[in-house]
A and B are shown apart, each in its own frame.
Chain A
Amino acid sequence: MTDTADGGPPATDGGEPPDGSEFGVGEQDSDGQRIEFRGGKWASTVPLAFFIGWAILQSGVLGIGDTNGLVVGALIGTTLGMFLVRGDWKAYADTIFEGMTQRVAATAIVA
């Protein structure tokens, strides 16, 4: 096996997305209720990016290990993201519930 500049003929459409519906995989492609953000697609990363920034500041820079503190960071991040939503904020709130009720959330908690 040698390294070539191009490993092989590219698939025409990138292939079918894999099916893992049992775990909620690929659900982002179904019933695509989209949220429009001021500042485009990248603005949807604001909640998680804020949370990571908070986590780095809290645990990394200040050296505080406190799970409840991280919860506050996640809450503020989630709230900040809402202000960037264009149009109805209800879609944003619905998405929060949609995320929380995924099978994976329960799986992570139980296991």
Chain B
Amino acid sequence: MFAQTLQVGGFVEGLIFAADALNVGAATFPAAAFVLCGLLATGIGTGYGATVAFVTLFFPAGVLIGANPVLLFAAILSGAVFGDNLAPVSDTTIVSAVTQDADIGGVVASRFKYAIVAAVPAFAAYLIAGSVMSGVELEGAVALRESANALGLVHLLSMGIVIVTAVAGRHIVEAISWGLLVAVGFNLLFGLSSASDIVVFTVTEAGALSGLPVVEVGETAGVGGSLYAGAVGFFPLIVLTLLIVAMAQIMIRGGGFEAIQTFLLDRVATTVRRAELTMVLGTATINGMITINTAAEIAIAPYVARIGEKFNINGYRRANILDANTSALGYIFPWAGGVLVGYQVMVGPNGLGAQYGSEMVVNPIEVVPYVFHGWFLVAIFVLAAITGFGREYIPDRVSEEVSRA
């Protein structure tokens, strides 16, 4: 809802203006989106939220400038992976620390090296791919580009409020609410959008209330506006989330998870190297199945702890293996929650496809190979498990007080 309100408030036009002014072209836009989305996700601690904001706002701006839609979507997802992995307030970070008996500060500090080793080549890859992969021809793109307008950039402040409030330790629900309030205020104050762009009741016949700015007369009755489109777009994903956690619970109650654990402990994880590989690949596999990444992480966490403790692997190391692979896989596969939240922005009611044309919709299967940061992160942990890079044992370092911030 927040992102859609910024969109009707001209933030996309503002971004196009800023990209032109800063000389960010089609080739460099994906790499820039990766960095900015990574920063936003690290700041607010929710990769899903950052994905929604960037697909709603930066994605159309970038595609209009001429960036390749598939690459740009993948770059945004990579940024979300980076944030989910590193952010101290991210759910996946907290779960990984708490379940492996490590403190959050130490976990974040110790995983920084892996995140950077993956992010630098990912950034380079986006620069290279950005100059190789061409954009799409969009009908009316020229006119839309000329609509570039600096005024929409006031919404940088709306976004800033969300980030500052979230970094200050307020809950994300509170942070977004403040941002939404400010965004609506700016829209109405500067005439960036009318009240009916935000919420509108369409009636078929004029009545007593049709004098109100949010009531319109139209062909079919209904409710609309940015708040409406923002919320309705996510209903399918909410239903899917509930079903997936229900199926995961059935697997836990029915002993399926236990069977997998026994198999891994007895047959696969027989040396410390194989144990770490098992943790990496096991976490990756479970995340491929339970695609709501926090839920997957919680399901696999006890097994990572059990396997790790058997080989005296340090809690920080276990937390890093757990979170990196959880974050990465949650944004790669076409049925992953992280990919689907972005996709819903494109296909939802009054989504990008409806507004700009079908070129603005990316099929989730196409982005799989281009989520560079996600793939590099998994690759680094596979290599780290094989070579022992960064491996620590329990006596090497004792965790500080485990906080449940």
Chain A residues in contact with chain B, CB under 8 A?
1-11, 14-15, 17-20, 22-26, 28-29, 33-37, 40-45, 47-49, 51-52, 55-56, 58-60, 63, 65-68, 70-71, 74-75, 77-78, 81, 91-92, 95-100, 102, 104-105, 107-111
Contact = CB atoms under 8 A, between A and B. Distances in A.
A63 B392 CA distance: 43
Given A7-B275, A23-B298, A107-B91, 6 more contacts: A1-B388, A2-B388, A44-B251, A74-B247, A104-B292, A108-B245
A109 to B, nearest CB: 5
A58 B340 CA distance: 14
A44 B71 CA distance: 38
B-side interface size class: 35 or more
B101 A8 contact: no
A41 B295 contact: no
Contacts of A111: 45-46, 48-49, 91, 172, 294
Contacts of A15: 305-306, 309-310
Contacts of A37: 254-255
A97 B288 CA distance: 23
Contact of A22 (B98, B313, B364, B388): B98
A35 B313 contact: no
B98 A20 contact: yes
Nearest to B240: A71
Given A74-B240, A78-B243, A60 B334 contact: yes
Contacts of A1: 388, 391-393
A71 B243 contact: yes
A55 to B, nearest CB: 4
Contacts of B246: 78, 95-97, 99-100
B295 A35 contact: no
8 contacts: A18-B305, A35-B253, A48-B289, A67-B343, A71-B243, A78-B246, A81-B247, A111-B91
B259 A4 contact: no
Question: Which of B241, B254, B391 has the most chain A CB atoms closer than 10 A to its own CB?
Answer: B254
